[in-house]
Amino acid sequence: MHISLYWIVLRQPGGLSIFDKDYKPQDDQPLPPEIELHEFFKTLKTPFNAYEAEDPKTLQLAIDDINHKEKKPIKYLEKIPGKDYSNVFFVMAAIMIALLLGVKYLEVHTWR
């Protein structure tokens, strides 16, 4: 099964971008939470999409993109435990019916 994570960062106008590769924290300062979360998601094996929105228009574009991606059908393969013996039982039933018809045929001919 394929799982995708989506998250939207609301950024202040002129604020720090999670996609800024040149950002260096000041002396002994921790990373801002949004960059730290973005770095954490990069370590996961699950693919993710991050969106950054500064205004209502970019937020709506991000939401529309997520809706478009999530409305696609999800395809997965589920293995059901056990084996399918239906063909074996159909063959056995056919053999039993043939035996019953053979016995019935012999029975009718012996009485004549």
Token couple for 34? 């949004």
Q: Are 36 and 30 within 8 A, CB to CB?
A: yes
* Confidence band, pLDDT 50/70/90 cuts, at residue 109: low
* Most confidently modeled range among 29-33, 47-51, 53-57, 82-86: 82-86
pTM: predicted TM-score of the whole model, two decimal places: 0.47
Mean pLDDT for the stretch of residues 17-31: 73
Q: What is the pLDDT of residue 1?
A: 47
- Number of Cα atoms under 13 Å in the Cβ half of residue 12: 4
Mean pLDDT for the stretch of residues 3-9: 72
* Confidence band, pLDDT 50/70/90 cuts, at residue 110: low
Query: Coil, helix or strand for 58?
Result: helix
